[in-house]
Amino acid sequence: MTSQSPTPSALAFVPFVSVANMMRLVNANGVETVMRDLAAYIEQDFRRWPEFDKTPRVASHSQEGVIELMPTADAENYGFKYVNGHPKNGRTGHQTVTAFGVLSSVATGYPLLLSEMTVLTALRTAATSALVGKYLAPKGAQVMAMIGNGAQCEFQALAFRAICGINRLRLYDIDPAATAKAMRNLSAQGFDVTPCTSGAQAVEGAQVITTCTADKQCATILSDNMVGSGVHINAIGGDCPGKTELHRDILTRADIFVEYPEQTRIEGEIQQLDADHPVTELWQVMRGEAEGRRDAKQITLFDSVGFAIEDFSALRYIHDQIAGSNFYQPLDLLADPDDTRDLFGMLTRAA
């Protein structure tokens, strides 16, 4: 007769990275180092894009917002992220976006890591933007306009400095308090920051334009006359059906780059265009199989919606980082009976 060990075996435990431990890990490495490392993991995974099992995220929409599951897998690992988007959450002291995720072993189906991903999503979103900027921004770009100065703003700025060398920022938000918050944080990080009173003012002289607003509606954060030639637009905020930031006329002037067309056509700026409007897949650019920026006058647009592979890369990075560290705690998430067929015996012996 088998007897249950008094404490669960190692198989029962899943490493858990809490918000506090994620912050410790990021601060120990330095945010910009993390951005560069994350971008390297993401680039590595984009370059082996065909190896992944891909599906558009599974969204559950309500009047208040959306809850999404974003799974993907390669031959070795499976990952998914849970993420919500609730634009009115701030009114009750909740985050607009919160997230957590899991990395698992394909061979056993067992989770290898459970991690907070609110902070990690902010990091990976910015790292992806800047990685794309490395391929698409005009050569020698030094100035970035940032329209929307919410929770994602500072992360974008740090990523673009770490990866693209951009240090001059022009900030605008419909809420001056948001701009003041970003000014404070970014000045402290050594950026040359200019607060602006309109989107039109913010884009003056910018080679990169980042739009990152949170309203769940079709807005026009950028109108056609605000966008001159030779810029790269990093459009972050339009990321679900009925939520866009750019005027349609900008889209028809730009060369559009996307993560996963099947998802972006539903969620991105290009939901405003015909379903067969040409787009370029970024993984092909990163593999050298498709052209990125052709010339200095071209308008390039990264229609960012966030794809599961970026979260997978981020979870891989965290999983590698916590090995041998104290940035995690073991969580008793998995039942581990001595005899795997005797789950019931484990239960009765625990009584």
Indicate which residues carry an active-site annotation. Answer: 239
- Cα 191 vs. chain centroid, distance in angstroms? 22
Cα four-point dihedral sign 114, 120, 125, 130: negative
- Structure tokens of 267? 């969620």
Nearer to a copy of itself, 1 or 278 (CB): 1
CB of residue 155 to a copy of itself, shortest distance in Å: 6
- Structure tokens of 123? 């990091």
CB of residue 47 to a copy of itself, shortest distance in Å: 21
CB atoms inside a 10 Å sphere around CB 149: 29
Nearer to a copy of itself, 184 or 297 (CB): 184
User: Does residue 65 sit in helix, strand or coil?
Assistant: coil
CB of residue 128 to a copy of itself, shortest distance in Å: 17
Nearer to a copy of itself, 73 or 236 (CB): 73
E strand or H helix at 125: helix 118-136
Distance, in Å, from the CA atom of 111 to the CA atom of 331, rounded to the nearest integer, reads: 11
CB of residue 86 to a copy of itself, shortest distance in Å: 5
Q: What are phi and psi of 143, to 5 degrees?
A: -120, 130
Nearer to a copy of itself, 275 or 351 (CB): 351
Distance, in Å, from the CA atom of 18 to the CA atom of 32, rounded to the nearest integer, reads: 21
Distance, in Å, from the CA atom of 332 to the CA atom of 5, rounded to the nearest integer, reads: 14
CB of residue 252 to a copy of itself, shortest distance in Å: 33
Residue 279 Cα distances to 11, 236, 258, 290, angstroms: 45, 17, 7, 11
Nearer to a copy of itself, 29 or 272 (CB): 29
CB atoms inside a 10 Å sphere around CB 92: 7
Nearer to a copy of itself, 9 or 197 (CB): 9
Amino acid identity of residue 85, one-letter, is: G
- Structure tokens of 268? 């991105």
DSSP string for residues in 288-326: TSS----STTPPEEEE----HHHHHHHHHHHHHHHTTSS
CB of residue 12 to a copy of itself, shortest distance in Å: 6
- Structure tokens of 81? 């992220």
CB of residue 22 to a copy of itself, shortest distance in Å: 8
- Structure tokens of 15? 């490493």
Instruction: Say which DSSP state 53 is in.
Output: B
Three-state SS annotation for 320-338: HHHCCCCCCEEEECCCCCC
Q: Give yes or no for a contact between 84 and 65, defined as CB atoms under 8 angstroms apart.
A: yes
Nearer to a copy of itself, 17 or 250 (CB): 17
